[in-house]
Amino acid sequence: MQVIKYVFQPHGDERGQLVSLEEFKDIPFQIKRVYFMYDTEKNVVRGKHAHKNLEQILVCIHGSCKILLDNGHEKKVVPLEKPYEGLYVANDMWREMYDFSPDAVLLVFASEVYDESDYIRDYDEFLKFVKERKNGN
């Protein structure tokens, strides 16, 4: 499984740092939704789903967390610890976000607006979906 991490260009001086992100330039898709998570308790696991079509870039803009990516064949854990790094999460990829530091803020850029029918929330259904997509169904 290929993990794609984007390193965004920080611009800084004595006043501090600034990161500017643009769709199709820094983010590889049109941004249709932005949301963030914070005050996540220590033992909470977020996500636990995949999407049929939606793509995401995850940026831990404060603190740290870990992302488990699972393509149905292979799993990888990716730490997010820097506010200028973004993790690309493709559609048909199971994701779980966990091990949030107490101060973590996880920002998400999404390629689609919220659509419950795009979610795959059952892991066995996800495995079936991946198998069918691989076979061209």
What are the residue numbers of the active site? 49
Dihedral pair phi/psi, residue 29, rounded to 5°:
-155, 170
Whose CA is closest to 47, among 111, 88, 95?
Answer: 95
CA pair distance 38, 25, nearest whole angstrom: 27
Nearest to 128 by CA among 90, 89, 88, 94: 94
